[in-house]
Amino acid sequence: MTAPERDPGRALLVGEIFRRNAAVVPDRPAAALGKHALTHAELNDAGNRLAWSLREHGIGHGDRVVTWADTSLDLLPLFVALAKLGAVFAPLNARLGATEAAEVGRLARGALLVTDAERSAEADTVANTCGIPKTATLPGGRAGWVLDPAVLPARDEEPTEPALCETDPHVIFFTSGSTGRPKGVVLSHRANWLRGFQGVFRDEPERTVCMFPLFHMAAFTLALAAWQTRGEIIFVASPTAPALLEAMESRRANRFYGIPLVWSRILAEDTSRFDLSSLRELDTGTSATPIELIRALKERFPGTRTRIYYGSTEVGSATTLPDADVLSKPGSVGPASPGVDLRLSEEGEILVRSPYQMCRYFDDPEATDAALAGGWFHTGDLGVLDAEGCLSVVGRKKEIIRTGGESVSPVEVEQALADAPGVAEISIVGVADPEWGEVVCAVVVPADGAKPSLAGLHAHGDGTLAGFKKPRRLFCVDALPRTAATGQVQRTLLVERIASGALEASE
């Protein structure tokens, strides 16, 4: 008895999303950037043409294709083509220089390097350093062969790969390497299909403006989510507040996801200059979102819904706080997202598992075993759960601030400065800084009638704290944000408030 032939149409394969959309809504916009747009039929057709060409050049199932390119619509057909071939899409950060790109790209052991025109002159150098045997370029470049669907022949049949399974790798996204060697996060077709799926019924297709560049995991997650509704993803060349607002207006966007810092920049603009009446969903999220930001969104955009997400490249969405609770649960990131299991370890570390978490770290079994010990992804974040199962992120398991090449323990600094003159309570956090990496910041609740100063904190720390451990910035607040369940200070929320401008430095 022979095994039944595998039916790709019944598997959760990313390439099938484009085939179906082209069949059902061929003329509806699928993606836009500035004045240029692709319909679903055009995107699928361009992807098919590239897939046949790539196959003729020896690229196929399981091959890893490394891209080093900035955001452009030319990159999307390649994404489609690789999904249909069962090849793995592995984008490098376009902001990396050639040396840095080669260091990260080497990890993928790629079969092909694809660059855009701006980076094509250095393609051979990077490929040789990475050990990648072939190079190609998007339209406009001169490295290897040019991947231009416009000059490739069309074929009636879809390019399919009989051996492709939904659990096969679809993409590799590289972490920043902030804790050491960068890691390649492997996501399967099934994981990415599920991350983008939003249920069977939708009132209207999603039209999402994307603030992320097209080498970032979130850009493709947002795109797949829009495409799963037969909708549109709208990119911008640079995510400035005016550019994002113009894109929302011109494409009649109904959804925008922005990190708190970007939302703060948008709120600083005169949004009345733009017709934003189409907006329905204003989403945000990190490990914590200031309640001041949520209130400002509700005031500026009445009638819209806001959700807060917490997650990562490795797990996708781990928790979701719905619109109904964003004002009543300040500092919370919500309960587990649909399909997700969530718990805390004995140390309070947030552990997550779901059908759409990563497969592994590419070629790094040691890091994989540590991250997925016991079948749960270990986030490295510390959290608390309230009586309703809603999570608040209170810090990192390894609470270390790295400033100017030195390591600083927030707890050590807090203990040294807890009895400083004028201080009732103090929390020490690290805030990103382009020169120092992070700067040490003190957030202080002043004692009654007192006015703490940086000079006073420094003087109190003399003989106890090395100079690099002393705070460089001081913020005074009426109260430190604490979790309702345990009263723990939410350091992550303080960082977000500082970064978003919700807190002003006292001096």
pLDDT of residue 399: 80
Summarised one tens digit per residue, pLDDT across range 418-436 is 999 999 999 999 998 877 8
User: DSSP states of 95-151 as a string?
Assistant: TS-HHHHHHHHGGG--SEEEE-GGGGGGHHHHHHHHT---EEE-TT--SSEE--GGG
> Domain map of the chain by residue range?
11-192, 280-398, 401-500
Burial class (CB in 10 A: 0-12, 13-18, 19+), 365: exposed
User: What is the torsional sign of CA 43, 48, 49, 53?
Assistant: positive
Same fold, 280-398 and 401-500: no
Strand segments (E) across 284-404: 308-312, 316-321, 341-344, 349-353, 360-361, 377-385, 391-396, 401-403
pLDDT of residue 486: 65
Return the CATH superfamily for domain 401-500.
ANL, C-terminal domain (3.30.300.30)
Where would I find the H helices in 254-363? Answer: 260-267, 291-300
User: What is the torsional sign of CA 221, 132, 364, 360?
Assistant: positive
pLDDT of residue 386: 92
Tokens 């043409």 belong to residue: 49
Distance of alpha carbon 474 from alpha carbon 452, whole angstroms: 9
pLDDT of residue 418: 92
Maximum alpha-carbon separation in the chain: 86
Judge whether 44 and 22 are in contact, CB under 8 Å. yes
pLDDT of residue 178: 42
Stretches in the chain below the pLDDT threshold 70: 1-9, 143, 176-180, 484-486, 507
Return the CATH superfamily for domain 280-398.
Luciferase; Domain 3 (2.30.38.10)
List Cβ neighbours of 494 (8 Å cut-off, separation of 6 or more): 427, 429, 443, 480, 481, 503
Burial class (CB in 10 A: 0-12, 13-18, 19+), 292: middle
Summarised one tens digit per residue, pLDDT across range 50-75 is 999 999 999 999 999 999 999 999 99
Summarised one tens digit per residue, pLDDT across range 7-46 is 666 799 999 999 999 999 999 999 999 999 999 999 999 9
pLDDT of residue 84: 98
Q: What topology is assigned to 11-192 in CATH?
A: Rossmann fold (3.40.50)
